[in-house]
């Protein structure tokens, strides 16, 4: 059920970001999922989403994927020392990730979009955390 | 007790995949895969985007009709004044429609990305025509006689049009029936700025702003006399070197479903 919800959210985010909006919804969903479950499936999702977004944004294919993995490198380093299953981390990770993403790929309204994405991700994290059990207690995640 | 496994090997694996993917798609070997992805992308985005236009077309039908009538009337007025000038200058006997239809490629909008869809103004369109249809970077994008933008990026089956309101768009422009020349720049919202107009020139609210012309040797670019917008306000400071004007586009980009890519500015066909 948790996997289904994640892939459903992920698919909707990828489609919305490809066609309708410039907000980094994929990055938001990936950060929320990683904060909740810390699963390696997020790496496959990042690579696949990167290719998908590059096709729809008319960019060099693979560029977004490389960005995502540079972002995950920073998150991995942070995770070694600090707790990531907190709303504060989710908000700051999404906010700064979005700022870099939007600035790197030349989008407008960088601050506003990053703020909204951070808020959206935090709300999603808090909602899903109360609905899902922690990964240590759950068998099928 | 759940054993904590290192994610580093998986991370390195997928990082390698991502880097290899990037370099693979830079090589000619990736052409079939790129074409497949591009054609699938065109179908998916076209379908997804068409779902959003279903309701909006009903609600905006009257607005769309009035907007089109307004565009048509302004177009006729502009053409009439340009024709008068052309006749006075003893123009060539071959009267041409402008831009020539043989130079245009009809293109459906399959993606219109903005901060908040339906509220924020879009700054770029994704079009369902690409390099396989003769679309190239730098080509102008028009709707009737109005300049919509220019092609900023191209794939095999898709292309991206940078609108005139995008912050990265700029073009030399002139005022209809005046000698004023300046530089039009997108402001990132539904507005443009006409900058660099000499203080001695006359610019008034309601003046029509036209493209001056921007063409490369290969005939790609934006032809002259395409309508960019209407002057909304003028800022003229005696202490400044130049005056500036805010320009509003005539076309409501949110209501467009189809635009035309100008393959060549001048036709030798």
- Residue B79 has, within 13 A of its CA and on its CB side, a CA count of 14
Average pLDDT over residues B130-140: 92
**Residue A58, phi-psi category: left (phi > 0), alpha (psi -120 to 50), beta (remainder):** left
* Contact call for residues B248 and B230 (beta carbons, < 8 A): yes
Measured between CA atoms, the residue of chain B closest to residue A65 is B18
pLDDT at B89: 44
pLDDT at B56 over 60: no
Among A19, A73, A112, whose Cβ lies nearest the Cβ of B48?
A: A19
Distance (Å, whole) CA B171 – CA B194: 9
B1-7: long-range pairs with CB below 8 Å, 24+: B2/A136, B7/A38, B7/A40, B7/A43, B7/A76
**Cβ contact (<8 Å) for A69 and B18?**
yes
- What does each C-alpha distance from B78 to B98, B101, B226 come to in angstroms? 12, 19, 9
Distance (Å, whole) CA B17 – CA B33: 16
* Contact call for residues B115 and B107 (beta carbons, < 8 A): no
pLDDT at B182 over 80: yes
pLDDT at B59 over 90: no
Q: What are the tens digits of pLDDT across the range B148-176?
A: 999 999 988 899 999 999 988 999 999 99
pLDDT at B96: 42
| DSSP tag of B89 | T
- What does each C-alpha distance from B147 to A22, B14, B22, B99, B259 come to in angstroms? 23, 44, 35, 11, 10
For residue B154, the distance in angstroms to the closest alpha carbon of chain A comes to: 6
Q: What are the tens digits of pLDDT across the range B205-244?
A: 999 999 998 888 777 889 899 999 999 999 988 888 899 9
pLDDT band at B269 (very low <50, low <70, confident <90, very high): very low
pLDDT band at B63 (very low <50, low <70, confident <90, very high): low
Which is more confidently placed, B83 or B188?
B188
Residue numbers in A near B42 (CB within 8 A): none
Distance between alpha carbon A80 and the CA centroid of its chain, in Å? 19
Measured between CA atoms, the residue of chain B closest to residue A56 is B41
**Cβ contact (<8 Å) for A108 and B167?**
yes
Sign of CA dihedral A115, A117, A121, A124: positive
* Token pair for A75: 């998150």
- What does each C-alpha distance from B165 to A112, B121, B247 come to in angstroms? 19, 9, 10
pLDDT at B245: 94
Please, what is the average pLDDT of chain B?
Answer: 82
pLDDT at B257: 84
For testing contact with chain B, the best of A55, A72, A115 (most B CBs within 10 A): A55
Distance (Å, whole) CA B207 – CA B227: 11
Backbone phi, psi, residue B209, to 5°? -100, 125
Is A112 buried (19+), middle (13-18) or exposed (0-12) by CB count in 10 A? middle
| Residue B97, strand partner residues | none
**Cβ contact (<8 Å) for A22 and B113?**
yes
pLDDT at B61: 66
Distance (Å, whole) CA A131 – CA A101: 30
Task: Provide the 10 A C-beta neighbour count for residue B265.
Answer: 21
pLDDT at B192 over 50: yes
Q: What are the tens digits of pLDDT across the range B75-121?
A: 888 888 777 765 654 443 334 456 665 678 888 898 888 878 777 78
Contacts of A94 by beta carbon, 8 Å cutoff, 6+ apart: A27, A28, A31, A32, A114, A117, A118, A121, A122
pLDDT band at B60 (very low <50, low <70, confident <90, very high): low
For testing contact with chain B, the best of A58, A63, A74 (most B CBs within 10 A): A58
Q: What are the tens digits of pLDDT across the range A50-86?
A: 999 998 888 889 999 999 999 999 999 999 999 989 9
Please give the full DSSP string across B205-237, using - where no structure is assigned: TTPEEEE--EE-TTS-EE-SS-EEEEEEEEE--
pLDDT at B94: 38
| Residue B181, strand partner residues | B174
Residues of chain A with confidence (pLDDT) below 70? 1, 133-141
Residue numbers in B near A61 (CB within 8 A): 21-22, 25, 30, 34, 37
| DSSP tag of B92 | -
């Amino acid at each position: 059920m948790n996997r289904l919800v994640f892939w459903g959210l992920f698919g909707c985010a990828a489609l919305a970001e490809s066609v309708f909006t410039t907000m980094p919804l994929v990055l938001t969903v990936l950060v929320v999922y990683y904060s909740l479950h810390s699963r390696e499936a997020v790496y496959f999702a990042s690579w696949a989403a990167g290719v998908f977004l590059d096709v729809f944004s008319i960019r060099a294919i693979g560029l977004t994927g490389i960005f995502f993995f540079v972002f995950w490198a920073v998150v991995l380093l942070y995770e070694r020392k600090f707790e990531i299953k907190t709303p504060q981390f989710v908000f700051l990770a999404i906010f700064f990730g979005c700022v870099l993403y939007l600035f790197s790929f030349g989008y407008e309204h960088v601050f506003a979009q990053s703020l909204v994405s951070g808020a959206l991700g935090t709300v999603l994290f808090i909602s899903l955390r109360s609905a899902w059990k922690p990964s240590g207690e759950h068998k099928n995640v | 007790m759940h054993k904590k496994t290192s994610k580093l090997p998986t991370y390195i694996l997928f990082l390698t995949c991502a880097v290899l993917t990037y370099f693979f798609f830079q090589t000619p070997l990736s052409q079939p895969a790129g074409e497949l992805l591009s054609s699938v992308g065109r179908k998916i985005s076209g379908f997804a985007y068409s779902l959003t236009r279903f309701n909006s077309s009903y609600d905006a039908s009257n607005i769309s009709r009035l907007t089109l009538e307004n565009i048509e009337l302004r177009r006729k007025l502009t053409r009439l004044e340009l024709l008068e000038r052309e006749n006075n200058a003893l123009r060539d006997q071959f009267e041409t429609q402008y831009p020539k239809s043989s130079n245009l490629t009809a293109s459906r909008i399959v993606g219109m990305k903005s901060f908040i869809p339906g509220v924020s103004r879009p700054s770029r369109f994704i079009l369902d025509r690409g390099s396989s249809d003769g679309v190239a970077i730098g080509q102008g994008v028009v709707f009737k006689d109005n300049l919509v933008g220019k092609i900023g990026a191209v794939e095999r089956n898709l292309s991206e049009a940078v609108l005139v309101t995008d912050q990265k768009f700029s073009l030399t422009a002139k005022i209809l029936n005046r000698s004023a020349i300046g530089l039009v720049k997108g402001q990132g919202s539904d507005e443009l700025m006409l900058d660099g107009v000499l203080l001695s020139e006359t610019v008034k609210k309601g003046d029509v702003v036209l493209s001056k012309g921007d063409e490369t040797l290969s005939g790609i670019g934006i032809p002259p006399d395409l309508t960019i917008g209407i002057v909304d306000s003028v800022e003229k400071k005696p202490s400044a070197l130049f005056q500036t004007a805010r320009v509003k586009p005539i076309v409501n980009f949110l209501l467009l479903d189809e635009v035309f890519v100008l393959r060549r500015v001048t036709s030798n066909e």
